[in-house]
């Protein structure tokens, strides 16, 4: 009697999980990559989410073989302004992930995003489970920013951002906001919608001169210089996961 492959190889991984463990992208982004027809298993293009990968299978992305990485990396980068956080850029702009090449052999991708014109803390990893947990808006992890503006911040701006304000059908509200000087503020977000701080300030006619993210949860940028990176500590990794798990309970 012939034994089924599933019985022989019970350790098969769903394709999106395999890609996440290979440092390609988070599981959610890996699903989009699969649906786009960019992934092949044993020479066959696969677009079904339920597909499993077993030991001995060959998986390729855009024709390049990818394999599960055994070593997990968790890196904090001080992203300079002017770098995009996507893995590549069709417009030829500088890519933040390239600042890590040469130091880490694994393919690392960012947990969340930081817009091109902002600088500061950005976490990279090849751990898809970690990225999915920590990067999801429901994780409730604080992001702290220091903002320098072209004009003084009025009390109206502070009150509106704290209470919540709807702009073009999108609701924005910060967790906290503190005046550092007439034109500098410390702002803490939790969900962090796309370009949230810039959109709120622009609504009040205030142009952002500099925007830097100085903290993600318990991970602080500290004295890390622009363009430099450091590994996250075990305590920082556990702290971020604990915060995300707490929100799920």
Output the CA angle 135-186-231, nearest 5 degrees: 45
Residue-wise pLDDT tens digits, 176-200: 999 999 999 999 999 878 899 999 9
Residue-wise pLDDT tens digits, 121-180: 999 998 888 988 898 888 889 999 999 998 899 999 999 999 999 999 999 999 999 999
- Let me know whether 195 and 91 are in one domain: no
- Let me know whether 159 and 171 are in one domain: yes
Kindly name the residue from 57, 115, 129, 245 that is annotated as catalytic. 115
Instruction: Indicate the pTM of the whole model.
Output: 0.78
Q: Which position has the higher pLDDT, 92 or 160?
A: 160
User: Domain of 23?
Assistant: 5-66
115 is annotated as an active-site residue: yes
In a 3-state reduction of DSSP, which class is residue 99?
helix
Tally of structural domains, the chain: 3
Distances (CA, A) of 123 to 86, 92, 169, 205, 207: 13, 22, 30, 31, 27
- Let me know whether 52 and 78 are in one domain: no
């Amino acid at each position: 009697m012939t034994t089924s492959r599933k019985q022989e190889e019970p350790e098969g991984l769903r394709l999106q999980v395999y890609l996440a463990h290979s440092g390609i992208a988070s599981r959610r982004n890996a699903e989009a990559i699969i649906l786009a027809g960019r992934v092949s298993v044993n020479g066959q293009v696969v677009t079904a989410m339920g597909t499993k990968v077993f030991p001995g299978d060959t998986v390729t992305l855009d024709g390049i073989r990818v394999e599960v990485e055994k070593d997990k990396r968790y890196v904090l980068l001080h992203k300079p302004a002017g770098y995009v956080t996507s893995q590549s850029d069709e417009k030829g702009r500088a890519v933040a992930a390239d600042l890590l090449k040469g130091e880490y052999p694994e393919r690392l991708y960012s947990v969340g995003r930081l817009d091109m014109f902002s600088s500061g803390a950005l976490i990279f990893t090849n751990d898809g489970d970690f990225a999915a947990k920590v990067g999801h808006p429901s994780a409730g992890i604080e992001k702290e920013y220091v903002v320098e503006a072209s004009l003084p911040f009025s009390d109206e701006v502070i009150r509106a951002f704290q209470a919540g304000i709807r702009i073009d059908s999108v609701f924005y509200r910060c967790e906290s906001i503190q005046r550092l000087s007439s034109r500098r503020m410390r702002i803490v977000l939790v969900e962090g919608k796309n370009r949230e701080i810039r959109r709120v300030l622009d609504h009040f006619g205030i142009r952002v001169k500099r925007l830097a993210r100085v903290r993600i949860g318990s991970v602080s940028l500290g004295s890390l210089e622009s363009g430099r990176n450091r590994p996250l500590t075990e305590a920082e990794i556990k702290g971020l996961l604990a915060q995300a798990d707490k929100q799920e309970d």
